[in-house]
Amino acid sequence: MSETNKPSVRIDVWSDYVCPFCYLAEPTLARVEQEFAGRLEVIWRAFELRPDPVPTLDPKGEYLRDTWARAVYPMARERGMTLRLPPVQPRSRLAHEAVAFARAHGEAAALNHALFRAFFEYGEDIGDVNILAKHAVAVGLVEATLRRAIAEGAHHDEVLADEQLAQKLRLHGVPAIAVRAAEDPIELAVLLEGAQPYEVVRSVVEQVVAAR
């Protein structure tokens, strides 16, 4: 892509594959990206809500059941999406590394969506390399190459860099959506927290476009 054809607006999204609100934000961001096609780029970044050794949540515990009943299921109905409380709560580090691998091969968006769907619609353990490999193959990636990259930690530092940048920006929850002119430093981005409605995200994008 030439300099003159590069997107003028960039959205960086910190998310985690065990966060239902991140999945609920995905269609909104895809819609905005499609509407501003060629002018806007969405980059999904890694954020582990519960990195090792932080304990994972009890999938049958009161906290998750209450959160889903009070907030997740109502928002899913409002957005026409199907989400089910997963029967497992895995670590997400390897899922982030798998998507970083997919990004290097031009399939980050496809695998990003596939892993969200696998976890929140089908309850699959996305901390399992076999599950990651299955979905990687389904989006056109080479299984042996993915497995080798994960085993060797080829994208470990990339995931950590995303998380360190989140700390630098004092991001404490996800999804965290940073909208900026592509040439501006991330510190100048407009920050939106949570699974914001389409109208809110689109309005901020329009403001950034107008400011340019």
Percent over 70 (pLDDT), the chain = 98
At 78, is the secondary structure helix, strand, or coil? helix
Q: What is the rounded CA–CA span in Å between residue 105 and residue 10?
A: 20
Residues, the chain, total?
212
> For the segment 15-62, what is each residue's pLDDT rounded down to a tens digit?
999 999 999 999 999 999 999 999 999 999 999 999 999 999 999 999
pLDDT at 6: 85
- In the chain, the number of structural domains is 1
The pLDDT score that the predictor gives to residue 2 is: 45
> How many alpha carbons lie under 13 Å from residue 200 in its C-beta half-sphere?
11
The amino acid at residue 206 is: E
Between the alpha carbon of residue 147 and those of residues 93, 108, 116, the distances in Å are 14, 16, 20
pLDDT of residue 4: 55
Residue in 156, 152, 121 with CA at minimum distance from that of residue 135: 121
Residue type, 174: V
DSSP at 91: -
Q: Which domain holds residue 18?
A: 3-211
3-state secondary structure of 168: helix
- CATH number of the domain residue 159 falls in: 3.40.30.10
Q: In this predicted model, what pLDDT tens digit does every residue of 150-206 receive, in sequence order?
A: 999 999 999 999 999 999 999 999 999 999 999 999 999 999 999 999 999 999 999
